[in-house]
Chain A
Amino acid sequence: MSSQVKDAPGRKRIARKNIILLVLVIAIAVIPFFLQRKAEFAGADDRATEAIAQIKPDYKPWFSPIWEPPSGEIESLLFALQAAIGSLIIGYYIGYVRGRKKKEDTGKS
């Protein structure tokens, strides 16, 4: 790692490494489908609620969300929006620093 940091042109190596790492992340996300063919893949929260109902069957939530997405579709829209806004900022940042680096490098030579 330290040698990579010293020689900045290790860019290609980093890119290759990152692609391998990304494939690994995708694999980790996909493997559960093969291991648990019949699972519902509901949120871990749903199961927590079931557990609470078992421990304290009479518990009633004392407060409910002020606003809820009216449907599953709207909810996924908002989740997608959240991911999109975040990705936009990350992408913008990486684009910015890449451009800056390129400028620095050409300025030097």
Chain B
Amino acid sequence: MPRKHQVAIAVLAAFVLLPRAAFSMHIMEGFLPPAWCISWGVLAVPFIILGLFSIQKTVKVNPKLKMLLAMAGAFTFVLSALKIPSVTGSCSHPTGAALGAILFGPAAMAVLGLIVLIFQALLLAHGGITTLGANTFSMAIVGPFVAFGVYRLVRKLGGPMWLAVFLAAALGDLMTYVTTSFQLAFAYPSPTGGFAGSLVKFMGIFAVTQVPLAISEGILTVIVFNILTVYSRNELKDLKILSQEVSQ
């Protein structure tokens, strides 16, 4: 093959393949019609504002918690950088949002999650600026709220701490990707199967892939929690996580 042709093919291949490199576990840049981008963005804003107030309050009442807050943010940062293989033969990454949601409440996580998503959208072309609202809604709002709710529920039912943390993280992680599937199905109803047809399709891609990862995230969150219960007992007491233990 002449060299010129090789170059032409390479350039062509680059054009075809390069945009694909921009796709992420989150909804890809430009892949959500503008009306949906705006809608999800508008829905996300109140949670972000709530989160900012919540963080401000936490830090004001107890400045010592700043370091733990940074740690919870860092946990999301690490976990969302780890693309892990799944039994479906494709890769995805955990979200790490449950830890912060359990410690500081779900609203605080909306802000920390948003920071991670902005970083990934700008520097990694992972997710996107136009889809930031939708991705914030799934990863930084639905995930943390589910995690927080599950944690509270299991504790209320008298379940052990490790189980509450595990289920919170695993289900929060899974629900993030279920939300992503819903978001894509809303935007792309299948011409034959409608919304439901698309939902099944996207769930098969995102949610099924996510199951083993959700379990991994559950375990990893338990590991960090184990460490915290030994070394950060005072902070956990301040956050009413360990005093809860005594009262229940």
Contact = CB atoms under 8 A, between A and B. Distances in A.
Chain B CB count within 10 A is highest, among A10, A43, A78, A85, for A43
A32 B89 contact: yes
B81 A82 contact: yes
A68 B206 CA distance: 23
Interface size classification for chain A: 35 or more
Contacts of B71: 89-90, 93
Interface string B174-206: 000000000010001111000000100110011
A55 B31 CA distance: 13
Main secondary structure of the interface of B (DSSP, over half): helix
B90 A79 contact: no
Interface string A1-40: 1101100101100100110011011001101110110111
Contacts of A61: 19, 28-31
Contact of B84 (A17, A29, A47, A51): A29
Contact of B22 (A5, A64, A86, A87): A64
B235 to A, nearest CB: 8
Given A43-B24, A48-B206, A14 B230 contact: yes
Interface residues of B, number: 81
B216 A25 contact: yes
B30 A63 contact: yes
B121 A83 contact: no
A31 to B, nearest CB: 7
A78 B31 contact: no
A98 to B, nearest CB: 6
A63 to B, nearest CB: 4
A89 B242 CA distance: 24
Interface of B: 18-26, 28-31, 33-34, 67-68, 70-71, 73-92, 119-125, 128-130, 160-162, 184, 188-191, 198, 201-202, 205-206, 209-210, 212, 215-216, 219-220, 222-224, 226-227, 229-233, 242, 245
- In the A-B complex, the 7 residue pairs with the closest CB atoms: A39-B89, A61-B30, A86-B78, A86-B77, A89-B74, A63-B30, A45-B23
